[in-house]
Structure 1
Amino acid sequence: MDPEFAAYLERVRAHRAELGESLAALDAALALPVGLGALWRRRVRAALTELEHDLRDHRSITEEPGGLYADAVARAPRLASVSKLQMDEHLDFVEVVQRLLGERDEGLESAEAVAAHREAATELVGRIVRHRQRGADLIYEAYEVDIGGSG
């Protein structure tokens, strides 16, 4: 592997760890009892805000010209559909986080609204975990490199 691309993959790996940390922070915030009221709301909002930032960075890093997905497809055209799915999910994840943040800004007045918000955010966590699993598999298939499961 060319040293420049190897350095790029290290950048992807480091960012993947950051994304994992923001995902873990959201999961931890969602696990707090909603009875904490304002504290619960602040923690979830902070975690969603950080996740949005990391998702945007992730999209920028992996979808840049000559980046991960373009290179993986060039090396292994069979990975085109998985690469497209990953990129489509990036957009969806950012939209979901923005919607959740908007709900927070509008206020969650009822217990039912809080429960629905929590459920939607929890579902998002699961979707991103599966996305990261597919991403690790894609990178391994294209480069025979373990991008790291702990980050």
Structure 2
Amino acid sequence: MEPRTEMPAEIDELDAVRVRRAELRESLNFLERCLAAPASGRAVVWGEAVHDALRTLATDFGAHIEVTEGPDGLHQAILTRDLRLANAVTGLTNEHAGMAAEIDTLVADSEPPVAEQDVDELRERATRLLGHLVRHRQTGADLVYEAFHTDVGGVD
């Protein structure tokens, strides 16, 4: 059997998606660990860790948007392959702006120093964001599976 010299473009794109999914999952885990850490009597230290985790998440979510929405991105590959998935692609794309704004607001609101009285609200909002992002990842994995009949890593 002769070695393949050229991989289909969709394979390269799916590999990039897998890498970004893993990075995003690590960012979500990092944020979750920071949020779960004790904050009582140490709001400033807790807030610094949460702020750092949110900044990391903002960077990784921006990369996620780039690899999915870019001109040669995953969404374009899906639409080229199966136009009937256009509504699902549009739905995921529309979620990006709202979630990016949510992340940016949390980054700004967690700017050090975080006061003791702000911990509960910040923790609640960031936890809600985690839920949004997890659901978005699930929907994206379902879409990729429908388009390519491959798993991009639902169990990271």
TM-score by length of 1: 0.91
Identity %: 38
4+ residue runs of structure 1 moved beyond 6 angstroms? none
Aligned twin of 2:24: 19
- Asked whether the 8 Å contact 1:140–1:146 carries over to 2, the reply is yes
Structure 1 position 30 matched with structure 2 position 48: no
Aligned twin of 2:76: 70
- Asked whether the 8 Å contact 1:17–1:150 carries over to 2, the reply is no
Give distance in 2, aligned partners of 1:52 and 1:116: 19
Give distance in 1, aligned partners of 2:67 and 2:134: 18
Counterpart pick for 1:102 among 108, 121, 140: 108
Q: CA deviation at 1:77?
A: 2.1
Q: Which amino acid aligns with 1:74?
A: T
Q: Which amino acid aligns with 1:47?
A: A
Aligned twin of 2:14: 9
Secondary structure in 1 aligned to 2:65? Answer: helix
Aligned twin of 1:117: 122
Where is the helix percentage greater, Structure 1 or Structure 2? 1
Could you say what the CA RMSD is over the residues aligned between the two structures, in angstroms? 1.6
Counterpart pick for 1:80 among 82, 86, 94: 86
Aligned twin of 2:152: 147
Aligned twin of 1:61: 67
Secondary structure in 2 aligned to 1:105? Answer: coil
- Structure 2: give runs of 5+ residues left out of the alignment: 1-6
Give distance in 1, aligned partners of 2:86 and 2:95: 14
Give distance in 2, aligned partners of 1:81 and 1:107: 42
Q: Which amino acid aligns with 1:55?
A: F
- Structure 1: give runs of 5+ residues left out of the alignment: none
- What CA deviation, in whole Å up to 9, does each residue of 1:12-35 have, x standing for no partner? 101110100001100111111221
Aligned twin of 1:138: 143
TM-score by length of 2: 0.88
Q: Which has the larger radius of gyration?
A: 2
- What CA deviation, in whole Å up to 9, does each residue of 1:82-104 have, x standing for no partner? 11111111111111111011112
How many residue pairs get matched? 149
Aligned twin of 2:3: none
